[in-house]
Copies of this chain bind each other. A is one copy, B any other.
């Protein structure tokens, strides 16, 4: 649905609700797509949302519930009776349920789990143990397991008896008695095979799996590299415990991209990613002010550099007019290099072992860029600004040096930081600009005092 359709539908639902035409409401909701329905509920007042939600049949309720924003989920789950809430939890995928419970106060979690079925409770408790951002915390525990001794007909019977949701059934996993993963069988190959064919014949043995502790960013890389739609997760003893599906991976990529962008813009990423307009003013302030403060303080060092060259500046006041240009050019040149290297790292195109290749490339690019910019700037200095050749020379030499240092330092910092196991996105941030500002200014004043024979 586009924005306009959504608005119309919302109006219709509101009026049906006001006129208590619940049967019509329920019918209309069942014809709609769950994601559209969830998006619409988000637009409603809390009480209306709850009323609507109670009208849904329980399967639909669970599907829509899993698509709501965390704060709406919390509102609904705490407003429902304990029995109603228990039913919702039972009908959710265990990983969605675990995500929900992680955000709730402990007393509510206890009550909710008490009302869920024992097997749901087990699955959820299991999932809650894994560290944040690990494969274990994003996996789902529902999957189809087959035995090596089955034939195709038995395998299809097993799938029918489990009768699971479509996403998780397209690949089945062959386990031995110790639940070690032996291979995979696609639903397609089961359909194409003869009923009496043994599973062993059509099993794919070359399986890409991850460990429960694998970082979710690594999981996403594997999905992209091998074009997967699902991936088994094994525990430390190599027993299969769950699967990660491609829709979870899309969420991971989205989350990691947002985090990287935020870090690069000097924003502290928050644990609970809320949509922009749902994040409170105070919360946004908390995400933004730490870096602003840090950068403000570090920028005073740049100010100190300027003060200490007061003599040079007051003798040649024209020098100060080039300060913003030199600082910006250095900063921009550096951030270009850092963003490209950070991106190459996260796409797994570059590793620390390529250090010299990367820096050598950046050096050559920097020289090319620096010389181009210096040439253009020299022309401008002489033709438009009418400054002395000595000043023009000092400014242009500074451009070349600033671009050169900026790109080398940026690439080096990014690679070193990632080698240390830290997130390089933090380096490709305003912090880098501050460092480069200081260096550009030092270079500028050193060159110009030398060229213009200014006593320091």
Chain A residues within 8 Å of B, Cβ to Cβ: 3, 31-33, 35, 39, 156, 159-160, 163-164, 166-167, 169-170, 186-192, 206, 208, 223-227, 229, 246-247, 249-251, 253-254, 257-258, 260-262, 264-267, 275-277, 281-282, 284-285, 288-289, 291-293, 295-297, 299-300, 302-304, 306-307, 310, 313-314, 317-318, 320-325, 327-329, 331-333, 335-336, 338-341, 343-344, 347, 349-351, 353-354, 357-358, 361, 364-365, 368-369, 372-373, 376-377, 380, 399, 403, 430, 433-434, 437, 441
Contact = CB atoms under 8 A, between A and B. Distances in A.
Nearest to A160: B192
B332 A277 contact: no
17 contacts: A33-B226, A160-B192, A167-B227, A223-B250, A254-B347, A264-B339, A275-B347, A275-B349, A275-B350, A288-B336, A288-B369, A295-B332, A296-B373, A310-B317, A323-B324, A324-B437, A328-B437
B328 A318 contact: no
A277 B350 contact: yes
Contacts of A323: 303, 306, 323-324
A7 to B, nearest CB: 10
A369 B253 contact: no
Given A188-B166, A191-B187, A368-B282, A306 B292 contact: no
B292 A373 contact: yes
A262 to B, nearest CB: 7
- Looking at A164, A258, A325, the one whose CB has the most chain B CB atoms below 10 A away is A325
A317 B314 contact: yes
Nearest to A308: B321
Contacts of A354: 277
A98 to B, nearest CB: 18
Mostly, the A contact residues are: helix
Contacts of A329: 292, 295-296, 299
Given A187-B191, A285-B368, A324 B327 contact: yes
A64 to B, nearest CB: 13
B434 A328 contact: yes
A276 B250 CA distance: 24
B365 A277 contact: no
A229 B167 contact: yes
Given A166-B188, A277-B354, A314-B317, 5 more contacts: A167-B229, A292-B329, A302-B328, A310-B317, A332-B430
Nearest to A310: B317
Contacts of A277: 344, 349-350, 354, 357-358, 361
A360 B330 CA distance: 34
